[in-house]
Amino acid sequence: MTKIDESSTYERPPPAAATSKPGAESPLIRKLRNFRLFDRNCERELQQLFDRSSEFERHSDLVRDGDEVQQVFVLLSGWCARYKIVGDGSRQIISFLLPGDVFPLHATTTGQMDHGVAALTRCEVAAADASSFNNALLRKAKLAQAFWWATLADKGVLRAWVVNLGQRSAYCRVAHVICELNARLQMVGLSNNGCFQFPVTQEEIADAVGMTTVHANRILQQLRQDGLIKIEQKRLTILDADGLCELADFNSAYLNPV
């Protein structure tokens, strides 16, 4: 867990929050506002809870497989990934964590991690003690519901990944992940019209969709050739949103439980 002091050079939250003043203002709150019961009261509670912020450098582990959960994090800027190393040493990325995401969402104080969380870019997080986080959930039913809502959204994403990995071709799998990332980033204001910072390597994409780096490369080339996307200097642009969604069989509804 290497902590660093400089500020992030990758994804930054929009100006308002870029100051990294302690408190989990912008991306998380923007996300939770999608949940109808979330109110000002909850917001205040959150800001008290996530009272310290810190930064992690690229490739550092925020949480390791097997760790006891002692802190809960909100990602303020940058990208992380849940991952698991399997027996033969290869890595599966289980999900991407984007600004506004909370992890690990273990309701019950302690508990061992069954996977790790790594920083894919330098990133900024706010943290709360797991115990005070849980106390807050017990005291404030609405807050608890808001986080349950977030957990359900998370589960929806996981189910979509199972479907993606189980049924779709390499080409469609990559397309689907791109659609998901775009939709999720849009929810926190980090994608404009299908255009967003895309700070991951092809190896990381490959680990997420269950294929080799070489193949991920060829698939991305094909997506570009087919005029569906464009990637320039770590910035991805969706050129044909309808085409990409149809190809990926993507429907964003699952990202927004009621």
The residues binding a copy of itself (CB under 8 A) are 35-37, 82, 84, 86-88, 90-92, 94-95, 105-112, 114-115, 138, 141, 144-145, 148-149, 151-152, 154-156, 158-163, 165-168, 207-210, 249, 253-254, 257-258
Q: Residue 221: which of DNA, a copy of itself, none does it interact with, CB under 5 to 8 A by kind?
A: DNA
Q: Residue 239: which of DNA, a copy of itself, none does it interact with, CB under 5 to 8 A by kind?
A: none
User: Could you tell me the smallest distance in angstroms from the CB atom of residue 232 to DNA?
Assistant: 11
Local structure of 59: helix, strand or coil: coil
Q: Residue 1: which of a copy of itself, DNA, none does it interact with, CB under 5 to 8 A by kind?
A: none
The Cα–Cα gap between 145 and 123 comes to 27
Structure tokens at 168: 């779709």
Q: Where are the beta strands (DSSP E) in the chain?
A: 52-56, 61-63, 71-77, 80-85, 91-97, 102-103, 116-119, 123-129, 195-197, 229-232, 235-238
**Binding test (CB under 7 A) with DNA, winner from 41, 131, 135, 169:** 169
The Cα–Cα gap between 227 and 230 comes to 8
Local structure of 69: helix, strand or coil: coil
**Which residue lies nearer to DNA by CB, 203 or 249?**
203
Q: Residue 170: which of DNA, a copy of itself, none does it interact with, CB under 5 to 8 A by kind?
A: DNA
Q: Which 203-222 residues touch DNA, going by CB under 7 A?
A: 203, 210-215, 217-218, 220-221
Q: How far is CA 172 from CA 12, 60, 154, 168, in A?
A: 29, 30, 21, 6
Size of the site for DNA (CB under 7 A): 16
Do 130 and 215 meet the contact criterion of CB atoms below 8 Å apart? no
Which residues, 6+ apart, have CB-to-CB distance to 200 below 8 Å? 79, 96, 120
User: Could you tell me the smallest distance in angstroms from the CB atom of residue 204 to DNA?
Assistant: 8
What residues line the site for DNA (CB under 7 A)?
169-171, 201-203, 210-215, 217-218, 220-221
